[in-house]
Amino acid sequence: MRVPGWLLAAAAVVLAFLPHSLAPALALVAAVTSALLLEPAALRRAWSPRALVLVLCAAALAAAAVGWSSAPAKGVAVGGAVLLRFLVLLLLTALAARHVDAEAVQRMAARVGLTRLGIALGLALNALPHLGEAARDAWTALAVRGRRSRPRATDLPKLAEILLAHTGRVAEEAAAAAALRGHRSLVRAVPPMAARPLVVVVTGRPGAGKTAAMRGVAKALRERGVTVAGFIQVPVWDAGGKGGYLVLDVASGEQRTLAVKVGTGRGEHGTPFRFEGAGFAFARRAAERIATVLVLDELGPVELRGGGHMPAVRRALAREGIAAALVTVRPALIPSLLAEFAIPAATVVNVEGNRDPVPSLLAALAPVLPALSS
Amino acid sequence: MRDARAWTHAALFGSLWGAAEVSLGTVLKAAQVPLSGMVMAGVGVLCLLTARRLQPSPGVCMAAGTVAAFLKVFSLGGLIVGPVAGILAEAALVELAMTATRGSALGALIGGALAFAEAPLQMVFTVVVITGPAATAALARVAQRLASGLSFPAASPVAVVGAVATLAALIGAFVGGISWRVAGRVARRLGASP
């Protein structure tokens, strides 16, 4: 009886707003029948005494206003229609609230071609309890830090910031988990790469020495007679911290400006930096050079959204003749990177706490560069 | 939105907004706290702008709004059609402003203003939909007669709604600016950079 029940509920929604004097009454009949088929208890839940008083007041107000300004008979008709519409909406809301769960929503969304939105709704439902717990924990932590029994109202902005940041972290983790499990429903299908070089992922937190490791391994490879191409993003530091980025052509050693800090809220791609088109073009030419090993430092959130260096990187990785690619990426973005290029297996080298990561990187490249082993 | 992270951000920030609507929104409404609608609109703008700042892809705000509206269905309060429509409209307006300005601070100001101005306009719209045009015209005449009785003879209903919407928009622009700054602090806390 579920399908007829929901069909009647949908008909009730349509009827409730049809411009005909009989439509609200028919809508109520459809809604009540729908509730009887799906869940009779919804009638009592929806039409609680408090809700009925509110609805009657609203209907009486509308009736009085219309009756006063035009004719009493018209007032009664309008008041009756308002009453019936409210009763229908209350009942349908009560039904929807009880019968909708994450799986049902996903199934329904998939049926109408909105699979990704369905997954997002399911994820949101499952995340609700976790976010509630996080809010309570943050609230308690703020009180403990302030050595008070409970936080003050002035702590609310801090609480909001903590909660929003936590939500952002959970969202990153959810995306990573989806990518690791090969759950590709949330992203469009990526065409498989023509060539599949060995991918060595160089990772570590910001400032861990990823870029230094890339420069070191590029030098070591050249010393062993291996041709190396690609680009390295070199941060430029000033008094205010990271002031921008230069892009270095690994093969030629030339540099160009890639990004300049313009301030929070004025940058591009949600960053405080303005990017130079010439810098991206320079990096693209560097990645297009013929070489055995390709160095790509660094692929960040902008690239994994399809922007920045991504088009050039995609073309370069699809080229024949590359034995291996060294790709720098932050730990949280590794799953997204693997999913983006449909890479089934990769060697991950974490440079954190590693004083000289170059030998580890050379060892990771050895399977496709036997000369490095000898 | 082709990146899974954009979808998960929309889901999570929509969930946060929906949770706030279901819990805080219901409590404020039940306690008859004045301007509770504006408080909840502020929460919505903050969630939308943070999601958009962390994931600057078109569609993130709209998806987050859809998620929040969906969760509002589970609200303890009885009538949720109005709030659900309000949440969707707020998300659509912020999305429009942010997409038109390519995700800049100006978009946050405009988005905040539009989101806050939407509430009084939606109230008028709801009255028109629920009671019909004839009843709305009658209600407008009643309001005008009451206004003339209170020495506001020149104030037409349209002018009053316009003035309220303008005031709400100014407050909304301020809230949008503050939310954009908070979103920036969140982005820095998460180390969002190229």
Q: What pLDDT score does B193 carry?
A: 47
Q: What pLDDT score does B35 carry?
A: 78
Tokens read off for B133: 């045009």
**Res. B192: pLDDT tops 60:** no
**What tens digit of pLDDT does each residue of A309-345 get?**
888 888 888 888 888 999 998 887 787 787 777 776 7
**Res. B96: pLDDT tops 90:** yes
- Distance (Å) of CA A318 to CA A192, A287, A294, A325, A341: 9, 11, 12, 11, 10
| Rounded CA separation A235/A150 (Å) | 43
Q: pLDDT higher for A186 or A256? A: A256
Q: Which of A14-23, A197-206, B113-122 has the lowest mean pLDDT?
A: A14-23
Which residues lie across from A295 on neighbouring strands?
A: A230, A326
Q: What pLDDT score does A190 carry?
A: 55
Instruction: Give me the residue from A124, A132, A163 closest to B14, CB to CB.
Output: A124
| Rounded CA separation B183/B107 (Å) | 13
Instruction: Give me the residue from B75, B187, B194 closest to A259, CB to CB.
Output: B194
| Rounded CA separation A351/A30 (Å) | 66
Contacts of A233 (CB under 8 A, 6+ apart): A211, A245, A246, A247, A248, A258, A297, A298
**Res. A349: pLDDT tops 50:** yes
Q: Which of B9-18, B89-98, B130-139 has the lowest mean pLDDT?
A: B130-139
Q: What pLDDT score does A182 carry?
A: 57
Q: What pLDDT score does B31 carry?
A: 62
Q: pLDDT higher for A134 or B45? A: B45
Q: Say how far residue A171 (Cα) sits from the centre of its chain.
A: 6
Q: What pLDDT score does A264 carry?
A: 65
Q: What is the CA radius of gyration of chain B?
A: 18
**Res. A185: pLDDT tops 50:** yes
Q: pLDDT higher for B72 or A221? A: A221
Nearest CA in chain A to B50: A164
| A 317-346 near B (Cβ less than 8 A) | 336, 339
Mean pLDDT, residues B89-109 = 90
Distance from CA of A271 to the nearest CA of B (A): 5
Per CB-CB distance under 8 Å, the chain B contacts of A336 are 3-5
Instruction: Give me the residue from B8, B67, B138 closest to A70, CB to CB.
Output: B138
pLDDT class of A247 with cuts at 50, 70, 90: very high
A123/B8 Cβ within 8 A:
yes
pLDDT class of A355 with cuts at 50, 70, 90: confident
Contacts of B32 (CB under 8 A, 6+ apart): none
Nearest by Cα to B38 from B129, B124, B128, B113 = B113
Q: What pLDDT score does A153 carry?
A: 73
Q: Is B148 on the interface with A (CB under 8 A)?
A: no
Instruction: Give me the residue from A74, A178, A270 closest to B187, CB to CB.
Output: A270
Look at chain B and count its residues: 194
* Contact by Cβ (8 Å): A326, A214: yes
Interface test with A, best of B1, B12, B74 (most A CBs within 10 A): B12
**Res. A46: pLDDT tops 90:** no
pLDDT class of B175 with cuts at 50, 70, 90: very high
Residue A40 CB-density burial (10 A; 0-12 exposed, 13-18 middle, 19+ buried): exposed
Distance from CA of A373 to the nearest CA of B (A): 35
Per CB-CB distance under 8 Å, the chain B contacts of A59 are none
Q: What pLDDT score does A126 carry?
A: 79
Nearest CA in chain A to B185: A161
Mean pLDDT, residues B100-126 = 85
Mean pLDDT, residues A77-101 = 80
* Contact by Cβ (8 Å): A209, A358: no
pLDDT class of A296 with cuts at 50, 70, 90: very high
Q: What pLDDT score does B194 carry?
A: 42
Distance from CA of A187 to the nearest CA of B (A): 5
| Rounded CA separation A165/B165 (Å) | 32
* Contact by Cβ (8 Å): A293, A325: yes
Nearest CA in chain B to A88: B79
**What tens digit of pLDDT does each residue of A263-278 get?**
766 677 667 788 888 9
Tokens read off for A365: 């490249």
Q: What pLDDT score does A344 carry?
A: 67
Q: What is the CA radius of gyration of chain A?
A: 31
- Distance (Å) of CA A95 to CA A34, A43, A83, B26: 9, 9, 19, 19
In the three-class reduction of DSSP (H, G, I as helix; E, B as strand; rest coil), residue A318 is classed as coil
**What tens digit of pLDDT does each residue of B50-65 get?**
999 888 888 899 999 9
Measured from the Cβ of residue A258, the count of other Cβ atoms closer than 10 Å reads 25
Q: Average pLDDT over chain A, rounded to whole? A: 82
Nearest CA in chain A to B77: A51
Q: pLDDT higher for A345 or B30? A: A345
Interface test with B, best of A139, A164, A246, A280 (most B CBs within 10 A): A164
pLDDT class of A230 with cuts at 50, 70, 90: very high
Mean pLDDT, residues A222-228 = 90
| Rounded CA separation B103/B176 (Å) | 13
Nearest CA in chain B to A269: B56
Q: What pLDDT score does B176 carry?
A: 93
Whole-structure pTM value: 0.63
Q: Is B132 on the interface with A (CB under 8 A)?
A: yes
Q: Average pLDDT over chain B, rounded to whole? A: 81
**Res. B150: pLDDT tops 70:** no
Mean pLDDT, residues A218-233 = 91
Q: How many CB pairs under 8 A join A and B?
A: 213
Q: What pLDDT score does A228 carry?
A: 92
Q: Is A207 on the interface with B (CB under 8 A)?
A: no
Q: Is B128 on the interface with A (CB under 8 A)?
A: no
Instruction: Give me the residue from A124, A178, A245 closest to B4, CB to CB.
Output: A178
Per CB-CB distance under 8 Å, the chain A contacts of B177 are none
* Reported ipTM: 0.83
Ramachandran sector of residue B32 (left: φ over 0; alpha: ψ -120 to 50; beta: rest): left
Contacts of B142 (CB under 8 A, 6+ apart): A65, A68, A69
Nearest CA in chain B to A333: B5
Q: HEC states along chain B?
A: CCCHHHHHHHHHHHHHHHHHHHHHHHHHHHCCCCCHHHHHHHHHHHHHHHHHHHCCCCCHHHHHHHHHHHHHCCCCCCCCHHHHHHHHHHHHHHHHHHHHCCCCHHHHHHHHHHHHHHHHHHHHHHHHHHHCHHHHHHHHHHHHHHHHHCCCCCCCHHHHHHHHHHHHHHHHHHHHHHHHHHHHHHHHHCCCCC
* Contact by Cβ (8 Å): A323, A290: no
**What tens digit of pLDDT does each residue of A156-182 get?**
888 888 889 888 888 887 877 766 665
**What tens digit of pLDDT does each residue of A10-45 get?**
888 888 777 788 888 999 999 999 999 888 888 888
Per CB-CB distance under 8 Å, the chain A contacts of B132 are 19, 78, 81
Tokens read off for A49: 């005494």
Q: Is A266 on the interface with B (CB under 8 A)?
A: yes
Ramachandran sector of residue A188 (left: φ over 0; alpha: ψ -120 to 50; beta: rest): beta
Q: Is B171 on the interface with A (CB under 8 A)?
A: no
Nearest CA in chain B to A20: B132
Q: What pLDDT score does A187 carry?
A: 58
In the three-class reduction of DSSP (H, G, I as helix; E, B as strand; rest coil), residue A230 is classed as strand
Q: Which helix (H) or strand (E) holds A246?
A: strand A241-249
Q: Is B54 on the interface with A (CB under 8 A)?
A: yes
Q: Is A306 on the interface with B (CB under 8 A)?
A: yes
Instruction: Give me the residue from A132, A265, A305 closest to B184, CB to CB.
Output: A265
| Rounded CA separation A345/B69 (Å) | 40
**Res. A120: pLDDT tops 90:** no
Measured from the Cβ of residue A51, the count of other Cβ atoms closer than 10 Å reads 18
* Contact by Cβ (8 Å): B72, B82: no
**Res. A60: pLDDT tops 70:** yes
Per CB-CB distance under 8 Å, the chain B contacts of A70 are 134, 138
